[in-house]
């Protein structure tokens, strides 16, 4: 181990001050760490001040990232004055990251939307668009009438909704019910933008699409789960910035276990900087690295024979496959640039270190072959016996509620919705513009597709012509200027609800801390209100069609949650009362009041078997929840399910055509078929193996990756806080020193990043910890982010104007944000 746990970026709490740089604009913040850093000899004058001594504390949760930290929200005279981390949660250990205080800055923010708005003038997308305030009833009636008119014309499927991770748990279930009653199949979540591929691959291999292990002590065994790992293999996951508090937990455990930490990433992130070893493959080539490791583990007999014999289906087919395809470490070295000897050594270390845990995040999900790559990783864990064991597993970050939240059955039937549009962030835009496979005419979003989609220019064109668009959000983000109706939502401290450490299925209850700003409503209330507006305006169905399906008492989240608990398999023990009484989150599945919840999925333990049976009586006696009850690498059924889409149960290497090196890539057929892993939706079949011609690299010799700007930001929302913009309001483009030299670029120079699709500006950050053939371009910046004006920051074009959205994973819908051909130009 190279370094002790560093707490420099982990705060114990944060004090909110009132001296903004520009008086009367936005509140500022004094980090509590600044006091802590001053040393134990200095008294805590804040704690000792009667003026700052809280008169009330509220138990909340930070909702920015998947750590789902518990917040002790300290109040004085009705205002949040401080947030502290939960000390009695051993995983959190009192920690928070730099973003926690920004939760309060969302509430105390003069740029908040405070009332529903209706468009009165201006072209769609024009920042000079005019809107007028309207009542909630007026806004919801307007939306209801437009939706019903389309339904009555036989075009229910032309209405679509896309949710985001910002919403309290359960809002997605309400949206799904509402769209089912309308007759539209196009109710989607943000999973294909974030990490659906991992869940899809886990479900196909082990039965459930969830992170397999848990942080902290497994209450079933009383032993550490992920803290017991002897080897931490992190691919495409920068946990120090994306999961700061759970990563700090892993680092604390590593001090005890001496576990080796291996980080695989084309750039040395703060996570890689803490690792025992940083491997830097070319972007978009992790798939080859894993195939090379599989070849080595099988060829050298490093797999777990007893586990394979008892619990794995398809091992012999995999052995023949990797041998026949020649996926040797030497071959993988040629593709990735990682030496073959290193691949062999890492394979041996991983296979023999038991237990060994793999972690992945967007660095894998945002690749063209995300589903197949995740499947290969799951196979590596399965054949080494590293699944269903504490301290092991395939810990692929996932976004959505495990298995969905259930509601009571509808009293009425619902229309047959037909097939949904292909999954993926840009399918809506494609359908609006081209009408393929059919045209969308009304869209509602809970988030900002102009920043998150893979082709911002195309989404902009689509939303200019879209007949009806409803934007719901906190601020006038880019997308709001295209809206016909704007609905203001509450910030996270303004409502009670349930939040989830989505990684390990760990759920917390949070109480509301402050009154709602203006007339803002929570997302659950918006969908309930919209259902009742549909009841008022529907001429085909009686009001009870909608009103009975959305009881008004669900506006009280406690009652809504109790309904979910009563109707969701595996959640029977997750009552509000139980969660509220805990300082630690409670993990799903948790079928009864006496069940402790599940940390290690597939653990050969009565607690797991009981939970598995609660999910489906057909799981009785099964360890893995696949048809066979084993980890399924290859079965004839899986093969025949995947083949029409162009994929196979045994993964075949391909990558993005803009990866250098003349690798096999893929082509898409124009036809539509049912998606085998998202069967509600259509997809284009692919043909694997088309060679990339490499001509793009004559003009665009570098490879670009997009990603989170730093620990200061989460998606676009933190760009609307004073602290977020103060810390990281400049888009810093990371460039290797040799590459910068070649281009005559120095630190701080303005730079233009150009791809065949577009160009964006940034500021040069020379960084030796990145491959010379690769640059890193922070995403989530956008031209409507006004807070940076306080600091004189530029308004940036979205990074996703550079990507080629035609290349996406046709199974999971994930877009290839992690590779685009590009070049640099100094801005003079
Ligand atoms: S952003 Fe994540 S790590 Fe930071 S305080 Fe919030 S939940 Fe915790």
Do residues 642 and 678 lie in contact, with contact meaning Cβ atoms separated by under 8 Å? Answer: no
Which range, of 24-28, 235-239, 477-481, 717-721, averages the lowest pLDDT? 24-28
Q: Cβ–Cβ contacts within 10 Å for residue 561, how many?
A: 25
pLDDT tens for residues 426-455? 899 999 999 999 999 999 999 898 988 889
DSSP 203: H
Please give the pLDDT value at position 400. Answer: 67
Q: For position 399, what pLDDT does the model report?
A: 66
pLDDT at 190: 79
Mutate to test the pocket of ligand 1, among 63, 93, 97, 270 (most ligand atoms within 8 A of CB): 97
From the CA of 64, give the closest atom in ligand 1.
Answer: 1
Please report the pLDDT score of residue 426 as a whole number: 84
Residue 675: pLDDT band (50, 70, 90) is: very high
pLDDT computed for residue 201 by the predictor? 97
The enclosing H or E element of 139 equals helix 136-152
| pLDDT value at residue 12 | 47
Q: 106, 491 in Cβ contact below 8 A?
A: yes
* Residue 100 Cβ < 6 Å to ligand 1: yes
**C-beta of 97 in contact with ligand 1 (< 6 A):** yes
State the distance from the centre of ligand 1 to the C-alpha of 143, rounded, in angstroms. Answer: 35
C-beta of 451 in contact with ligand 1 (< 6 A)? no
Q: Which residues neighbour 489 within 8 Å (Cβ) at sequence distance 6 or greater?
A: 113, 446, 472, 473, 474, 520, 521, 522, 523, 526
Q: Is residue 727 within a helix (H) or strand (E), and if so which, with residue range?
A: helix 722-728
Lowest mean per-residue pLDDT among 449-453, 459-463, 740-744, 824-828: 449-453
Q: Is 68 in the pocket of ligand 1 (CB under 6 A)?
A: yes
pLDDT at position 25 is: 39
Query: What per-residue string of b and e applies to 520-541 under the rule 16 or more CB within 10 Å gives b?
Result: bbbbbbbbbbbbbbbbebbeee
| R_g of the chain computed on alpha carbons | 25
Ligand 1 atom at minimum distance from 103 CA = 6
Mean pLDDT to the nearest integer, 323-327: 98
Which of the four pLDDT bands, split at 50, 70 and 90, describes residue 40? low
pLDDT digits (tens, 9 = 90+) for 97-132: 999 999 999 999 999 999 999 999 999 999 999 999
Distance 710 CA to ligand 1 centre (A): 13
Q: Closest residue (by CA) to atom 2 of ligand 1?
A: 65
* Ligand 1 neighbour 67 (Cβ under 6 A): yes
The residue to which tokens 């600044």 are assigned: 34
Task: Kindly report, residue by residue over 707-763, the tens digit of the pLDDT.
Answer: 999 999 999 999 999 999 999 999 999 999 999 999 999 999 999 999 999 999 999
Q: Is the CB–ligand 1 distance for residue 198 below 6 Å?
A: no
pLDDT score at 10: 42
What pLDDT score was predicted for residue 447? 84
The Å distance, Cα 101 to ligand 1 centre, comes to 10
Domains and CATH numbers, the chain: 10-107 (2.20.25.90), 196-398+630-652 (3.40.228.10), 570-616 (no CATH), 700-826 (2.40.40.20)
Distance 15 CA to ligand 1 centre (A): 16
Q: Which atom of ligand 1 is nearest to the CA of 246?
A: 3
Residue whose token pair is 């809970």: 446
Mean pLDDT over the full length of the chain: 93
Centre of ligand 1 to C-alpha 243, Å, is: 7
Which pLDDT value is given to residue 163?
A: 82
For ligand 1, the distance from its centroid to the CA atom of residue 94, given in whole angstroms, is 12
> How many angstroms is it from 812 CA to the middle of ligand 1?
27
Quick: pLDDT tens for 482-496: 999 999 999 999 999
Strands (E), 40-173: 56-61, 70-76, 79-85, 96-97, 117-121, 130-133, 159-162
**Cα-based angle 509, 515, 521 (whole degrees, multiple of 5):** 75
Tell whether ligand 1 has an atom less than 6 A from the beta carbon of residue 507. no
- Say how far apart CA 285 and CA 596 lie, in whole Å: 40
Alpha helices in 384-455 (DSSP H): 427-434, 449-452
Coil vs helix vs strand at 181: helix
With a 6 Å cutoff on the Cβ, whether 11 touches ligand 1 is: no
User: DSSP 3-state assignment of 429?
Assistant: helix
pLDDT, position 391: 98
- Is 185 a pocket residue for ligand 1 (Cβ < 6 Å)? no
How many A from CA of 67 to the centre of ligand 1?
6
Asked if pLDDT for residue 3 goes beyond 50, the answer is no
The response to whether residue 10 sits with its C-beta less than 6 Å from ligand 1 reads: no
pLDDT at 2: 38
Q: For residue range 770-802, what is the model confidence (pLDDT) as tens digits?
A: 999 999 999 999 999 999 999 999 999 999 999
Quote the CA–CA distance of 537 and 139 in Å, as a whole number: 13
- The finding on whether 14 has its CB within 6 A of some atom of ligand 1 is no
Distance (angstroms) between ligand 1 centre and the Cα of 513 equals 17
pLDDT above 90: percentage of residues in the chain: 89
Closest atom of ligand 1 to 98 CA is 4
pLDDT, one tens digit per residue, over 42-84 is 888 888 899 999 999 999 999 899 899 999 999 999 999 999 9
Tell me how far the alpha carbon of residue 108 lies from the centroid of ligand 1, in angstroms: 19
Tell how far the Cα of 271 is from the centroid of ligand 1, in angstroms.
Answer: 16
User: What's the mean pLDDT in 519-524?
Assistant: 96
**Residues linked to residue 232 through DSSP beta bridges, in sequence order:** 261, 357
**Alpha-carbon distance 425 to 64, whole Å?**
20
d(CA 721, CA 384): 46
* Distance from Cα 480 to the centre of ligand 1, integer Å: 27
Between 15-24, 136-145, 282-291, 683-692, the lowest mean confidence (pLDDT) is in 15-24
Q: What is the pTM of this model?
A: 0.95
Q: Whose CA is nearest to atom 8 of ligand 1?
A: 69
Residue of the CA atom closest to atom 4 of ligand 1 = 97
H or E element, residue 345? helix 340-352
Region 499-504: mean pLDDT is 87
99 touches ligand 1 (CB under 6 Å): yes
Question: What is the Cα–Cα distance from 100 to 564, expressed in whole angstroms?
Answer: 28
pLDDT, mean of residues 679-704 = 96
Q: How far apart are CA 93 and CA 249, in angstroms?
A: 8
Q: What average pLDDT does this structure show over 638-666?
A: 98
Which residues, other chains included, contact 90 with Cβ-Cβ below 8 Å and sequence gap of 6+? 216, 217, 249, 584
Residue labelled with tokens 């973003």? 99
Mutate to test the pocket of ligand 1, among 67, 493, 724 (most ligand atoms within 8 A of CB): 67
**What is the 63 CA–ligand 1 centroid distance (Å)?**
7
Is the CB of residue 62 below 6 angstroms from any atom belonging to ligand 1?
Answer: yes
pLDDT tens digits, 809-821: 999 999 999 999 9
Q: For ligand 1, is residue 244 a contact (CB within 6 Å)?
A: yes
As to burial, measured by CB atoms within 10 angstroms (0-12 exposed, 13-18 middle, 19+ buried), residue 222 is exposed
Q: Is the CB of 715 under 6 A from ligand 1?
A: no
Does 23 score more than 80 pLDDT? no
Two tokens at 327? 């996926």
What mean pLDDT do residues 15-21 have? 34
pLDDT reading at 504 higher than 70: yes
pLDDT surpasses 60 at 706: yes
Which residues lie closer than 8 Å to 324 by C-beta, 6 or more apart? none
pLDDT computed for residue 39 by the predictor: 54
């Amino acid at each position: 181990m190279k370094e002790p746990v560093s707490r420099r970026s982990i705060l114990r709490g944060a004090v909110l001050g009132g001296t903004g740089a520009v008086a009367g604009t936005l509140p500022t913040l004094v980090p509590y760490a600044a006091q802590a850093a001053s040393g134990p000899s200095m008294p805590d004058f804040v704690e000792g001040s009667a003026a700052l001594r809280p008169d009330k504390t509220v138990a909340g949760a930070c909702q920015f990232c998947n750590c789902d930290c518990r917040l002790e929200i300290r109040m004085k005279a009705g205002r949040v004055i401080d947030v502290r981390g939960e000390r009695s949660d051993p995983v959190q250990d009192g920690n928070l990251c730099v973003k926690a205080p920004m939760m309060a800055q969302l509430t105390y923010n003069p740029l908040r939307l405070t009332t529903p708005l209706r468009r009165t003038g201006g072209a769609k997308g024009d920042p000079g668009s005019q809107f007028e305030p309207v009542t909630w009833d007026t806004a919801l009636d307007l939306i209801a009438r437009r939706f019903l008119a389309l339904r009555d014309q036989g075009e229910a499927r032309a209405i679509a909704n896309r949710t985001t991770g910002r919403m309290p748990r359960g809002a997605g279930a309400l949206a799904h019910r509402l769209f089912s009653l309308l007759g539209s199949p196009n109710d989607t979540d943000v999973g294909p933008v974030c990490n659906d591929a991992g869940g899809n691959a886990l479900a196909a291999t082990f039965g459930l699409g969830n992170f397999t292990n848990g942080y902290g002590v497994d209450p079933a065994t009383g032993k550490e789960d992920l803290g017991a790992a002897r080897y931490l293999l992190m691919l495409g996951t920068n946990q120090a910035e994306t999961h700061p508090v759970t990563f700090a937990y892993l680092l604390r455990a590593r001090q005890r276990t001496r576990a080796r930490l291996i980080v695989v990433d084309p750039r040395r992130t703060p996570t890689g900087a803490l690792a025992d070893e940083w491997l830097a493959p070319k972007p978009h080539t992790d798939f080859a690295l894993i195939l090379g490791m599989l070849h080595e583990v099988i060829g050298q007999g490093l797999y777990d024979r007893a586990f394979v014999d008892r619990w794995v289906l398809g091992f012999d087919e995999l052995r023949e496959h990797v041998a026949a395809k020649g996926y040797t470490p030497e071959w993988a070295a040629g593709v990735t640039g990682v030496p073959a000897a290193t691949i062999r050594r890492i394979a041996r270390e991983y296979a023999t270190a038991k237990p060994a845990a793999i972690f992945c995040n967007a660095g894998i999900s945002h690749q063209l072959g995300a589903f197949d790559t995740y499947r290969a990783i799951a196979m590596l864990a399965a054949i080494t016996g590293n699944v269903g064991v504490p301290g092991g597993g395939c810990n692929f970050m996932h976004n959505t509620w495990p298995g969905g939240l259930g509601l009571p059955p509808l009293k009425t039937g619902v229309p047959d919705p037909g097939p949904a549009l292909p999954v993926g962030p840009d399918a809506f835009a494609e359908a609006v513009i081209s009408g393929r496979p059919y045209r969308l005419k009304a869209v509602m979003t809970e988030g900002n597709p102009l920043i998150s989609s893979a082709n911002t220019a195309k989404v902009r064109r689509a939303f200019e012509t879209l007949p009806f668009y409803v934007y719901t959000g906190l601020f006038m983000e880019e997308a709001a200027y295209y809206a016909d109706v704007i609905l203001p939502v509450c910030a996270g401290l303004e409502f009670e609800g349930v939040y989830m450490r989505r990684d390990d299925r760990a759920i917390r209850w949070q109480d509301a801390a402050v009154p709602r700003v203006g007339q803002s409503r929570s997302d659950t209330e918006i969908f309930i209100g919209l259902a009742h507006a549909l009841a008022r305006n529907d001429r085909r169905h009686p009001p009870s069609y909608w009103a009975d399906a959305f009881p008004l008492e669900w506006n009280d989240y406690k009652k809504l949650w109790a309904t979910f608990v009563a109707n969701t398999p595996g959640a029977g023990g997750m009552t509000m009362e139980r969660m509220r009484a805990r300082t630690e989150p409670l993990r799903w599945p948790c079928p009864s009041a006496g069940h402790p919840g599940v940390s290690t999925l597939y653990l050969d333990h009565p607690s797991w078997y009981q939970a598995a049976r609660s999910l489906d009586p057909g799981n009785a006696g099964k360890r893995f929840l696949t048809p066979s009850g084993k980890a399924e690498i290859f079965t004839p059924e899986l093969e025949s399910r995947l083949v029409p889409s162009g994929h196979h149960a045994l993964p075949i290497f391909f990558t993005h055509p803009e990866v250098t090196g003349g690798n096999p890539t893929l082509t898409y057929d124009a036809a539509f078929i049912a998606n085998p892993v998202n069967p509600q939706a259509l997809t284009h079949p692919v043909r694997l193996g088309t060679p990339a011609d490499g001509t793009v690299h004559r003009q665009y010799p570098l490879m670009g990756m997009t990603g989170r700007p730093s620990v200061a930001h989460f998606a676009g929302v933190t760009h609307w806080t004073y602290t977020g913009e103060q810390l990281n309001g400049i888009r810093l483009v990371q460039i290797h020193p040799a590459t910068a030299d070649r281009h005559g670029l120095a630190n701080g120079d303005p730079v233009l990043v150009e791809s065949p699709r577009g160009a964006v500006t940034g500021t040069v950050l020379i960084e030796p910890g990145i491959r010379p053939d690769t640059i890193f371009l922070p995403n989530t910046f956008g031209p409507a982010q006004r807070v940076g004006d306080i600091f004189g920051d530029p308004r940036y074009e979205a990074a996703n104007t550079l990507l080629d959205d035609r290349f996406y994973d046709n199974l999971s819908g994930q877009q290839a944000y992690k590779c685009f051909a590009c070049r640099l130009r100094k801005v003079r």
